[in-house]
Each structure stands twice: as structure tokens, then as C-alpha cells.
Amino acid sequence: MAYFRRFCHRFITIGLLAITSHVMAQGVLVPKGVIAHAEHKLMFDTLALMLIVVLPVIVMSFAFAQRFRESNRPKEYQPEWCHSTMLEVFWWGIPTLIIIALAVITWHKTHELDPYKPLSVGGKPEQIDVVALRWKWLFIYPKEGIATINDLYLPAKQQIRFHITADAPMSSFHIPQLGGQIYAMAGMRTKLHLYSEHLGTYEGLNTQLNGKGFSHMHFPVHVVSSGEFKRWTHQIKISATPLTIHDYAALYQPTIDAPQVHFGKVPPHLFKRIMQQYMQANSMLHARSFNGVSHA
């Protein structure tokens, strides 16, 4: 039995270390974008403020146990003592000041990190339209006139402006290492601004449970140089097949673990048409169509 307990302890320890190392290597603790860096700093600043209360409480717990244990009776016996103004000010005043500080920081950062707010970086932003489907992501590049499924390329050192909607149950668009998380909802357009100077490939995912294919809504996010981004978009434009309305009707159908697909041409205003179909009166009957081509 003792051997089994030691085995379980070691197994759990190794598992926790593996999970922690993965989070450290891939998650929010290794930020690679301006927003992610700000969120990382905010998280540790608030943690430090909270530790001002937590650490003394932990120390005092051991100190009280040591001082008032049965074998160490204090020389001064005060059975009637019940109040100290100084102590009351100490253990109510400091937490109150910390809460006020946290409120001020949170208020400021909430407005500073508003996902709808453009970042204070120079240059014209690259716009990418994002459509959450079941269970895959459609990325449309309006300026370049191309689209991809589950494959996202971003130019480094350039602000990215995402317009996000859904033609499916609600999803949540999130790239942990670049920062920000925002919902994708049918008939609505949400926005997200990101910026990164770090080249690399990061993980994007859906963090909203929305069906049996939820766990497969992952996609690689390639942050590349401006020149490589232009070469990539040009290559897709000249070599990939166009996305037609009939193709989109097929994309609308639920699929699990969908492969990456590239399209060299996109129907005009496709993102807007996807979003606005839910605003029409007949959308309540779930009759979604574009120019008479239904994909209900």
C-alpha cells in the first residue's frame, strides 16, 4: 500500500509538471503580443497586491499556532480581552486600501485594453474577417480577396483588426499568447485588435463549449514578416481555388477536425452577408440563403 501511494504521488507530480511546462511554453505566461504583455503584467501586479494580505495571514497562522499551543501558555493571562483599535485598523485598513488600488487598476486597464479600441501603433491595420462555423474557423482577408479554413497568417509589426461573427452556435475567439478573447455570435459583429513583433507560430482556439466538435476548433497562428505575408497571400491568390456560394454552403455543414483549406477568391461582402442574414425576418425560420442559394 505504501508503494502504491508513493507511485500515485510521483505520477501526479510528473503530470502536474508536464501540464505546467506546457502552459509555460504555450499559454498566457509567455506573451508574444502587446495586449498579451499588458494582460500578463496586470495579472502579476494584482497577484502581488493580493499577496500583501495572503502572506501575512499565512505567517500569522503558524505564529498563532506556535504561541498559543497548549504547551506554551503565555505568562500574561487575559481572558477578558476582546478588542484592540490598533489591530482593527490594521486588519481592516490594509485590505480596504488594496481593494481600492485593485479597483483603480482594473478600471484603468479595462478601458486601456478594450478589444474594440485601436492600438496606439503606427501604420494602417490589416483587417481580417473571422467567421465561426461548426466546428472550424473561416478567415477572410478582404484587402487581398482570399480566405482560409483553420489557417491564420498575420504580418508582424502591423496592427491586426479582427471583425468576428458566427454562422453557428456562439464561439469564443482566442489567441492566448497574443492576447484578447472575444465572442463570435450570429448576427453580431465583435472586434479585436492585436499587435506582435515576435515571429513564430502560436495556437488559436475556441474557448466556448458549443457542441461535440468544440475541442477540435484549434488553428495555427503564423506571425510572419511583411514580405513573407505578401508572398503567402499572393501564392494563395494565384494557386488556390475560389470560394463560391455553393462552397460556402458545404462549409456551413458541421464537420469535426476539418482540414486546412485555402481559397484564392471570395464572394463580395461575404462576411457582411453572413452576419446580416440573421437580421432578416425569415432568419427566424432558419432559412439562410445567399441570392437564392440555401445552406439551411
Residues 56 and 133 in one domain: no
Residue with cell 515576435: 198
Q: Are residues 162 and 200 in the same domain?
A: yes
Residue-number span of the structural domain to which 197 is assigned: 126-294
Q: In terms of C-beta density within 10 A (0-12 exposed, 13-18 middle, 19 or more buried), how is residue 40 classed?
A: middle
Asked if residue 186 and residue 39 are part of one domain, the reply reads no
User: Is the residue at 51 inside a domain?
Assistant: yes
- Say if 221 falls within a structural domain: yes
pLDDT score, position 290: 58
Shared domain check, 277 and 137: yes
- Predicted local distance difference test score (pLDDT) of residue 60: 87
**pLDDT by residue, tens only, the chain of 296 residues:** 555 445 444 444 454 444 444 544 556 788 999 999 999 899 899 988 888 888 888 998 898 888 777 777 766 777 778 888 888 888 888 889 999 999 999 999 989 999 999 998 888 999 999 999 999 999 999 999 999 999 999 999 999 999 999 999 999 999 999 988 899 999 999 999 999 999 999 999 999 988 899 999 999 999 999 999 999 999 999 999 999 989 999 999 999 999 999 999 999 999 999 988 887 644 443 445 555 444 54
- Both 162 and 264 in one domain: the answer is yes
**Measured between alpha carbons, how far is 287 from 294 in angstroms, rounded to an integer?**
7
Q: In this structure, is residue 7 part of a structural domain?
A: no
Residues 46 and 139 in one domain: no
Q: What strands, in cross-sheet order, belong to the sheet with 126-133?
A: 190-194, 160-166, 126-133, 136-141, 146-149, 261-263
79: in domain: no
Residues 146 and 282 in one domain: yes
The whole-number pLDDT of residue 74 equals: 66
CA–CA separation, 141 vs 128, rounded Å?
Answer: 5
The CATH number given to whatever domain includes residue 270 is 2.60.40.420
In a domain, 286, yes or no: yes
Dist. CA 248–CA 250, nearest whole Å: 5
User: Residue 161: its pLDDT value, please?
Assistant: 97
How far is it, in rounded angstroms, from Cα 90 to Cα 113?
A: 34
Q: Are residues 60 and 178 in the same domain?
A: no
Q: Identify whether residues 139 and 39 lie together within a single domain.
A: no
Residue 148 is assigned to a structural domain of this protein: yes
The CA-based angle 106-112-115, given to 5 degrees, is 105
Report phi then psi at 190, rounded to 5. Answer: -105, 165
Do both 145 and 101 map to the same domain?
no
Burial of residue 70 (number of CB atoms within 10 Å: 0-12, 13-18, 19+) = exposed
- Give the DSSP letter of residue 232: H
Provide the domain count of the chain.
Answer: 2
Please check whether residue 5 lies inside any domain of the structure.
Answer: no
Identify whether 16 is part of a domain. no
Assess whether 42 and 148 both reside in one domain. Answer: no
Q: Is residue 56 located within the same domain as residue 175?
A: no
